[in-house]
Structure 1
Amino acid sequence: MGVDTEEHSPATFLDTQLLTKTERARQHDEQFARFVDIMKKLYIDVPFVDVIQVPTYAKYIKDMMQNKKSLVSEEVVKVTKELTAAINDVALEKKPDPGSPSIKCMIGTRIFDR
């Protein structure tokens, strides 16, 4: 009556159903690449009222309106001599290597200079 009488051999079934890890990973990567392509083409136009209902955005907008957050920040930065030289493209004075320091040490009555 409408019953499928075809028989599948176990080898054919296993070959089609069980894929190797690399084959599954390749198929997964292809699907992900297609998904990313679709997401790149997606453009959503969201009304402002809907945006301010999201708590994170609402807090950011509220702080910005109350001048707690400014879009342009002005800070005073302490500039070192090396940074000033780098900005002005000036070479700093090179000094000779002072060598390794030597510390005098005394153990009992013996004095070690090096």
Structure 2
Amino acid sequence: MSASAFGIPVVLQTALLLTASNVFMTFAWYAHLKNLNDRPWWIAALASWGIALFEYLLQVPANRIGHRELDLGQLKIMQEAITLVVFVPFVIYYMRQPLKLDYLWAGLCILGAVYFIFRSP
């Protein structure tokens, strides 16, 4: 496991950048349903594109850094796992929707995907 000049392992750098990028992307994809619901769709799209720019400014470096040690499958599954970790609190605390048991089942399925993609050959 290699580290950057700051001594942070590549996988941790990747996970932190992907987490931050997922926060932006989750807001870009879903916050307009709460905040701009009364506006035309194209206003929501423009606002979402503006937010998504920051997601890409974090996601692209995350994948470039992560690809030093992880293959594409590992990067994708890591991103999907992080997406669920970000999405569930967003739904509960920001969108004010109830916690569902289905989030647990989905999380367990993704945990299985993480296991299979990161296990040793």
- Do they fold alike, i.e. is TM over 0.5? no
Question: Which one has a larger percent strand, Structure 1 or Structure 2?
Answer: 1
| Larger relative contact order, structure 1 or 2 (CA cutoff 8 Å, min sep 6) | 2
Higher Rg of the two aligned structures: 1
Q: Structure 2-normalised TM-score?
A: 0.24
